[in-house]
A and B are shown apart, each in its own frame.
Chain A
Amino acid sequence: MAPLEPYEKVQIDTDFLDEDEDVHGQVSCEKCHGGNPESNDYKTAHEGVVRDPTYPDPSKTCGECHAMDDEGGHPEITGKNKTNLHVTLAPFKNKIYLRADSDPCVRDKIDDAMGTNCSACHSSCGQCHVSRPESVGGGFIDGHLFQKTPPVETNCTSCHGSRVGKEFHGENEGIPADVHHTEHEMACKACHTGDEMHGSGMSEEPFDRYEVANRAKCEDCHKMAGSEKTEADKQGKDLVHPDHAIHQGKVSCQVCHSMPYKNCYSCHVGKDELGAPYFETAPSKMDFKIGLRPKTTEDRPEKYVTVRHVPVSPGLFDFYVKDALTNMDKAPTWKFATPHNIQLKTPQNETCLACHGNNKLFLTEKDAESWEVKANKDVFVSLKPAPSVRHNWLEQPELHLKKVDCLTCHDPSLKSPIRDCQQCHAKDSILLTKAESAPEYSLTNWNFTNNELIEKGDYVVGSNRIPALDVFGILLLILTFAGCAIHGILRFISRRRK
């Protein structure tokens, strides 16, 4: 995003004054911004001017018209401002306070550090709908014309750029852009509606941003096959693949459908000699890790989720106060994440075994530094034995894992997996009946039964046989017995004659 020249930041487009273009231009400047419009000198004219009159409380500006919904009884837009996380940054502060030392002096210094280095990353009505956020230099988006939908580049990814923006637009080397962007040209607003952006409206401020009730959810568009669709449902594809029925409620969507994403490490903040804030982080790493979610909720019950390393480190505030974060164990540094680089097909969902038994994908103690092991103890996954070990009750487990589709035995419609060998090793093998192509056999047929399996390169004992050979073998057996019997009878008769 190209920076604006100083004059560009404050130049008002005359269209703003046209009522047909923007009704907000009918309100006098000083009504919102203060200052002295009578003065011809820019210094005195700007005395008392408030650059962003919508932060932190927009009730006296935007709230004059946008406090309630059309019916006038339900808090809407500014009415929900106190629960707007873009304004309050509450979850971010909550996590820092959770890790912080309880000493009031230390807390004061942390507040100072956060005020200087972190809190600038807030937004407001004005910093979404009128100007770029101050944290990225500010300046009008379009000559003070109010934007009903904030532009993605100047107002969404200007703050959410390092991770979400780059993931969504495919700017991480070797990682494709999110399918919602490439295939459907969806922008942020398609999922993150104004209702969510303007605040949760919850009576209690959520501790974590994923606790927000009206947050975006994949299932708002993508319904399980057969589940009821509402009017609000959009054009999302139904989840017809049987894998969804198996993993639903246990595994988050991103575990199967996101690509490797960015993880950040070791942030340190400070001020230079001139008092300007700065930060330093260690190089970020592209990685993909599945961890456990320590606290699941009713509407998000998935235990296995993608987790991202957050940049917090014990020395985060060392410039301001040493050893400020003495309770690093209180919150994980590998945090539940929803990467924005969704693909239908990913390396981990290519086959079942690409994930099951692929220990590299799972977060374990080995992925953590010594100081963060305790903090992440509830996030680490206990690795299970390799699939070949778990299936060692089978004859030739490796061969079975290689040749048999997992869903053949792990049928999502059954309460437990099939463990009966004869379900496959029989003429009416489920290997084919599941495909609804149960063959009819003729005892005189000289072809293999279940010939489809042979064509796939598989020979399944008991399932693949030549019926005519079976008949021939039985006849041969009968003839052998008959020959023996006749031979015996003839010898018996010949002895009696003697």
Chain B
Amino acid sequence: MVGYKKIDDSWSISGMRSVSKLFVMFIAVFVFVLSNSATFASAEESGCVSCHTSLKNLLKITSAIEAAKPNVEKPAESKGEG
């Protein structure tokens, strides 16, 4: 009996360890995949694309950027051929 109980305890302890290891590995894999998801995500899924494919948005934003630029005199022009 003593011997059997001993075996049972050891099984439960090693089993617990295996589950813990699996859990840690799962977390590690999950974190890795999550952190690299951007790498594998297509541009189509990116938030950038919705704006950069929309003519309306681009016109609005580029106009705003142009309007925000300080109204300065025209810079000196180069003369001759480069």
Chain A contacts to B: CB under 8 angstroms: 5-7, 10-14, 16-17, 25-31, 33, 35, 37-40, 42, 45, 121, 144, 162, 262, 264, 267, 270, 272-274, 276, 278-284
Check A12/B53 contact, CB under 8 A, given A17-B44, A35-B48.
yes
Give the interface of B toward A (CB within 8 A).
38-49, 51-53, 55, 58-59, 61-62, 65-66, 72-73, 75-82
Closest chain-A Cβ to B29's Cβ sits at a distance in Å of 20
Which residues in B have their C-beta under 8 angstroms from that of A272? 75-76
A10 near B62 with CB under 8 A, answer yes
Which of A17, A37, A162, A264 has most B Cβ within 10 Å?
A37
**Nearest A residue to B52 by beta-carbon distance?**
A12
Contact B47 A45 (CB under 8 A): yes
Given A12-B52, A42-B61, A274-B75, A283-B43 contact (CB < 8 Å): no
Residue of B nearest to A264 (CB): B81
A11 surroundings in chain B (CB, below 8 A): 52-53, 55, 58
Q: B76's contact among A10, A28, A45, A278, by CB below 8 Å, is which? A: A278
Which chain A residues border B55 with CB–CB below 8 Å? 7, 11
Most A-side CB within 10 Å, residue of B38, B40, B73, B80: B80
Q: Which residues of B contact A284 (CB under 8 A)?
A: 80-81
Residues of chain B contacted by A26 (CB below 8 angstroms): 42-43
A16 to B42, CA, bound (A): 11
The answer on a CB contact under 8 Å between B62 and A45 is: no
How far in angstroms is the closest Cβ of chain A from B35?
Answer: 13
Q: Which of B55, B76, B77 has the most CB of A within 10 A?
A: B76
The one of A6, A17, A30, A279 that contacts B80, using a Cβ cutoff of 8 Å: A279
> Shortest beta-carbon distance, A301 to chain B, in Å?
32
The chain B residue sitting closest to A32, CB to CB, is B43
Residues from chain A with Cβ under 8 Å of B40 in the complex: 28
CB B32 to nearest CB in A, in angstroms, measures 16
* Given A11-B53, A29-B48, A45-B48; A16-B43 close (CB under 8 Å): yes
Instruction: State whether A280 touches B75 (Cβ < 8 A).
Output: no
Bound: A278/B43 CA distance, A? 38
* A270–B78 alpha-carbon span in the complex (Å): 10
**Option from B38, B53, B73, B80 in Cβ contact (under 8 Å) with A28:** B38
The B interface, classified by DSSP as helix, strand, loop or mixed, is: helix
For A35, list chain B residues within 8 Å (CB): 48
Minimum C-beta distance from B48 to chain A (A): 4
Q: How many Å from the CB of B14 to the closest CB on chain A?
A: 42
Q: How far is the CA of A302 from the CA of B82 in the complex (A)?
A: 29
- Is the contact region of chain A dominated by helix, strand, or loop, or is it mixed? mixed
A-B CB contact pairs (8 Å), 22 listed = A5-B62, A6-B65, A7-B58, A11-B52, A11-B55, A17-B44, A25-B43, A27-B43, A28-B43, A30-B46, A31-B38, A33-B48, A35-B48, A37-B38, A37-B47, A262-B81, A270-B76, A274-B72, A274-B73, A276-B76, A278-B79, A283-B80
Residue of chain B at shortest CB distance from A24: B43
Q: Is the CB of B81 within 8 A of A278?
A: no
Residue on A nearest B73 in the bound complex, by CB = A274
Chain B residues in 8 Å Cβ range of A273: 76
A33 contact set on B, CB distance < 8 A: 48
- Across the interface, which residues of A come within 8 angstroms of B51, CB to CB? 42, 45
Smallest CB separation, A141 vs chain B (Å):
15
CB-contact partner of B59 in A7, A28, A121, A282, under 8 A: A7
B48 and A280 within 8 A (CB) = no
Structural contact, A30 and B52, CB atoms closer than 8 A? no
Q: Is the CB of A14 within 8 A of B75?
A: no
Closest to B81 in A: A162
* Chain A min CB distance to B47 (Å): 4
Structural contact, B81 and A28, CB atoms closer than 8 A: no
Q: How far is the CB of B13 from chain A (nearest CB, A)?
A: 45
Q: Which residues from chain B contact A45 at a C-beta distance below 8 Å?
A: 47-48, 51
Give bound CA distance, A274 to B65, whole Å: 19
Q: Could you tell me the distance between the alpha carbons of A24 and B48 in the complex, rounded to whole angstroms?
A: 15
Judging by beta carbons under 8 Å apart, are B75 and A276 in contact?
A: yes
Task: Give Cα distance in the complex from A7 to B42, angstroms.
Answer: 23
Chain A neighbourhood of B82, CB < 8 A: 121, 162, 279, 281
Cβ of B76 to closest chain A Cβ, rounded Å: 4
CB A275 to nearest CB in B, in angstroms, measures 8
- Cβ contacts under 8 Å, A31 to chain B: 38-39
Q: Is the CB of B46 within 8 A of A14?
A: no
What are the residues of chain B within 8 A of A16 when measuring CB–CB?
Answer: 43
- Whether A37 pairs with B75 at a CB distance below 8 angstroms is no
CB distance from A133 to the nearest CB of B (A): 13
Q: A11-B55, A280-B79 are in contact. Are A6 and B66 (CB under 8 A)?
A: yes
Is B47's CB under 8 angstroms from A39's CB? yes
| B78 surroundings in chain A (CB, below 8 A) | 278-280
The residue of chain A having its C-beta at the shortest distance from the C-beta of B42 within the complex is A26
Q: Write out the residue numbers on chain A whose beta carbons fall within 8 Å of the beta carbon of B43.
A: 16-17, 25-29
A12 to B48, CA, bound (A): 10
Q: Which residue of B lies closest to A280 (CB)?
A: B79
A5 to B73, CA, bound (A): 20
B12 to chain A, nearest CB (A): 45
A28, A162, A282: which contacts B46 (Cβ < 8 A)? Answer: A28
Residue in chain B with minimal CB distance to A33: B48
Contact A278 B58 (CB under 8 A): no
Closest to A35 in B: B48
